Amino acid sequence: MPAGLTVYIVDDDAAVRDSLALMLGLAGYSSALYADAEAFLAAYRRDWAGCVVADLRLPGRSGIELQAELRARGAALPVIIMTAHGDVPSARTAFQAQAIDFLEKPFDPAQLRTAIESAFSREGTRLARRGEAAKLATLTAREREVLEQAAQGLHAKEIAAKLGISPRTVEVHKTRIMEKLGVRNVAELVRFALSTEGGEGKPRG
């Protein structure tokens, strides 16, 4: 399983929590258990990664209300809703809030594992983008300008003319940018810049 990803199980039935934790543990997943939404929210930290598996009917906030609260807090943790009392409106609400799946109890453990893998795949993409954004944050304002121009396919002389600096200085900036971003050549540099455009790590001048 990807390191650092946890399945956060929220269910008021201790037997369900324990059986899910055992099943997931045998499959290689890390899990954390909570009896209700309030207990989970009290413990929640913004750096958590993985997914939430929450029962629809909980004492206090429901699983869907927990999902809504996480979104209100800006949390990106994917949510899987499970229930023994499924209905179309609840499923629609969950999916409109971008739930990974809506599983009706009793479900096949393979269904849950498939849903968790989908959630972890989404998390992997999010964490990769966050890592790219963190690398971009290390660039100076001038390095960001050079990166933006390189991403447009401009060569050193063209970048130099646009920024009013020498081609040699552009090459020095490119070398430093590649070191900071962990890329090996200009092609990877351009690919990195394009992958972050329009996202949380979009290069800015």
**Chain segment 72-126, per-residue pLDDT in tens:** 999 989 999 998 877 777 888 888 878 899 998 888 899 999 999 999 999 988 8
Looking at the structure, do residues 181 and 159 belong to the same domain, yes or no? yes
Q: Which of 131, 156, 176 is the last residue of a domain?
A: 131
Looking at the structure, do residues 82 and 97 belong to the same domain, yes or no? yes
Q: How confident is the model over 116-163, as pLDDT tens digits?
A: 999 999 998 888 887 777 788 888 999 989 988 888 888 899 999 999
pLDDT value at residue 201: 44
R_g of the chain computed on alpha carbons? 22
For residue 16, how many other CB atoms are within 10 A of its CB? 16
Output the domain CATH number for residue 70.
3.40.50.2300
Q: How confident is the model over 23-32, as pLDDT tens digits?
A: 999 999 999 9
For residue 50, how many other CB atoms are within 10 A of its CB? 22
| Cross-strand bridge partners of residue 31 | 7
CB 69 within 8 A of CB 61: yes
Looking at the structure, do residues 179 and 100 belong to the same domain, yes or no? no
pLDDT at 202 over 70: no
Q: Is residue 111 part of a domain?
A: yes
Q: Is residue 202 part of a domain?
A: no
Looking at the structure, do residues 30 and 125 belong to the same domain, yes or no? yes
Domain of residue 93, residue span: 6-131
Looking at the structure, do residues 150 and 112 belong to the same domain, yes or no? no
pLDDT at 178 over 80: yes
pLDDT value at residue 135: 84
pLDDT at 3 over 70: no
Q: Which of 115, 131, 147 is the last residue of a domain?
A: 131
